[in-house]
Structure 1
Amino acid sequence: MSAVRGGPGGRLFAAALSAELLKLRTLRSTWWTLAAVVGLSVGIGYLYGSVIKGNYDDFGATPDWDPVGYGFAGTNVAQLALVCFGVLAVGAEYTTGTVRASLTAVPRRGVFGAAKLTAVAVTAFAVTLPTAFVTFAAAQGAMGERQNAALGDPGAVRATVGLAVYLTLLCLISAAVTMMLRSTVLALGILVPLFFIVSDILAHLPGVGSVARYLPSVAGAQILRVVPDDRIDVGTWGGLAVLLLWTAAALCGGLVTLRRRDA
């Protein structure tokens, strides 16, 4: 990477961002993990829709039936691939030691960290936004006309765009946590169980559930629903606010760690 020390702050950030986007494009893990996000989200959404097709009495006839939220249920698995993408996008440089070369090229660590995290967010959102609409179409088409939802229904577009926002923010948290831990293995060992297993279990346990429902993946997932989940009392926009607070805290922690600790 050629040095990008000089120039105004905006030009420096643009150059660093361009370099980070180039790194992501040349990482083999980027293509594999993002392909997994698309395949799992669309495939499981279609599978869920196919399972309930024709079972109107069990699903569509109930007052709390949420075809949009149910169609996005497969993202619980797809988000793991995006968590891996966020972790590998940051952790790969610490694993190989190339972060030292990157910091030589961009000695202003705040700029370097912000550019890396921005590149992760831009890439994640660019993939998840179209994936969300394809997933919606696949799941609703598989459900059948008696039970499915249309994109023009109240809350459907909000939930679909919300899916992309939700996944992107979880990816950013993953990248920032990896920046704090500086270890791919440690970050994956914490984040994968937290987002995939621990959060959902704790949120529905007596006693701890009232606190665990404010974990990022539990609260944030409320934006994917059209019919609110009565067990999670934060609501749609409250859940998004909780997720944004978690994201802001992780980003601050990642950038502060990058600035204060040796590479």
Structure 2
Amino acid sequence: MNHTARVLTSEWTKIRSVRSTVWTLAAAVLVTIGLGALICAVTASTFDDLSPTSRTTFDATYTSFAGMGIGQLAMIAFGVLVVSAEYSTGMIRNSLAAVPQRATFLWCKVLVAGPLVLVVGMITSFGTFFLGQALLGPHGVGIGDPGVLRAVFGGGLYMALIALFAIGITFVLRSPLLAFAILMPWFFLVSNILGTVEATKKVGQYLPDQAGTTVISVVPETLDRPYGPWEGLLILVGWTAAALVAGLIVLKKRDA
């Protein structure tokens, strides 16, 4: 087994052996699907109370993803724990002693975590869509309707990219407390405020989550953005790439 393969195996073992990482992924699935189902059920029962304009512009696909805003926090927690678990226990010194090529160390961690969060993201996205549409009943849409498959597939990509973004940021911050203290309030509260307040809206629309969520909408009126769904996802890809590169730079410059 060559060196890179051994590092990949080691990273997979680390993820499997830390219970918190497994639980955060499970929480991402359950919270996203559960909350989305609840919102869809309530929407279906109160649909006739909506205004004519709201019924006309109703986005059934986006409604089924109502739980993703909370579920993404669990994906962020997973990304933080994948990195910070080694820093908080001091195991990072042993890891870097065994893998002195720090770029190899970081990218192997990404290559192991990436496919895992992508699979979890896709399961979550398709699961919340199909359950949500079943609960919406006659107000729901089918996977073959225009733009729907793109939105559902994009939802899985969105969740995976958010987790990888958190991995990059945690390599920069290194401290689990600092990473959680910054990322959780930012994605849960600050970003939403910046994206909706008129004074900061033009800038807030280009933040990672504000841009990325455009891919899960089908009806144009759902989100007021100066770009399309795939362009929004590309903006998130750019943020994620920047975070990982920044993490690599910090990892190379700082001692463990």
- Give the shorter-chain TM-score range: over 0.9
The answer to whether the 8 Å contact 2:214/2:223 transfers is no
What is aligned with 1:200?
A: 192
Is residue 222 from structure 1 mapped to residue 214 from structure 2 by the alignment?
yes
Q: CA deviation at 1:227?
A: 1.2
For the residues of structure 2 that align with 1:12 and 1:67, how far apart are their CA atoms?
48
For the residues of structure 1 that align with 2:178 and 2:97, how far apart are their CA atoms?
26
1:158 pairs, out of 132, 142, 150, with 150
Output aligned runs, 1:44-55, within 5 Å.
44-55=35-46
Tell me whether 226-235 or 132-141 shows the greater mean CA deviation: 226-235
Q: Could you say if the C-alpha distance between residues 239 and 58 of structure 1 is closer, same or farther in structure 2, counting changes exceeding 3 Å?
A: farther
Output aligned runs, 1:3-18, within 5 Å.
11-18=2-9
For the residues of structure 2 that align with 1:157 and 1:116, how far apart are their CA atoms?
30
For the residues of structure 2 that align with 1:71 and 1:260, how far apart are their CA atoms?
44
Q: CA deviation at 1:242?
A: 0.9
Decide which structure has greater helix share: 2
Is residue 26 from structure 1 mapped to residue 12 from structure 2 by the alignment?
no
Q: Percent identity?
A: 41
What is aligned with 1:171?
A: 163
The answer to whether the 8 Å contact 1:68/1:225 transfers is yes
Q: Could you say if the C-alpha distance between residues 25 and 47 of structure 1 is closer, same or farther in structure 2, counting changes exceeding 3 Å?
A: same
Q: Could you say if the C-alpha distance between residues 172 and 107 of structure 1 is closer, same or farther in structure 2, counting changes exceeding 3 Å?
A: same
The answer to whether the 8 Å contact 2:165/2:243 transfers is yes
Kindly provide the CA deviation profile for residues 111-155 of structure 1, in whole angstroms up to 9, marking residues without a partner as x: 0011112222121112111121111111111111x2101111111
SS in structure 1 of the partner of residue 81 of structure 2: helix
For the residues of structure 1 that align with 2:252 and 2:66, how far apart are their CA atoms?
38
For the residues of structure 2 that align with 1:212 and 1:246, how far apart are their CA atoms?
13
Is residue 78 from structure 1 mapped to residue 71 from structure 2 by the alignment?
yes
1:32 maps to amino acid = W
Runs (5+) with no aligned partner, structure 2? none
What is aligned with 1:181?
A: 173
Q: CA deviation at 1:201?
A: 1.1
Q: CA deviation at 1:58?
A: 4.2
1:218 maps to amino acid = Q
For the residues of structure 2 that align with 1:117 and 1:256, how far apart are their CA atoms?
15
For the residues of structure 1 that align with 2:169 and 2:9, how far apart are their CA atoms?
22
What is aligned with 2:127?
A: 134
Kindly provide the CA deviation profile for residues 38-60 of structure 1, in whole angstroms up to 9, marking residues without a partner as x: 11011111101110114333459
SS in structure 1 of the partner of residue 24 of structure 2: helix
Q: CA deviation at 1:193?
A: 1.0
2:150 maps to amino acid = R
TM-score under structure 1 length normalisation: 0.92
Q: CA deviation at 1:230?
A: 4.6
What is aligned with 1:110?
A: 103
1:82 maps to amino acid = M
Q: Could you say if the C-alpha distance between residues 49 and 230 of structure 1 is closer, same or farther in structure 2, counting changes exceeding 3 Å?
A: closer
1:37 pairs, out of 8, 28, 53, with 28
For the residues of structure 1 that align with 2:47 and 2:246, how far apart are their CA atoms?
48
**How many corresponding residue pairs?**
253
Tell me whether 11-20 or 101-110 shows the greater mean CA deviation: 11-20
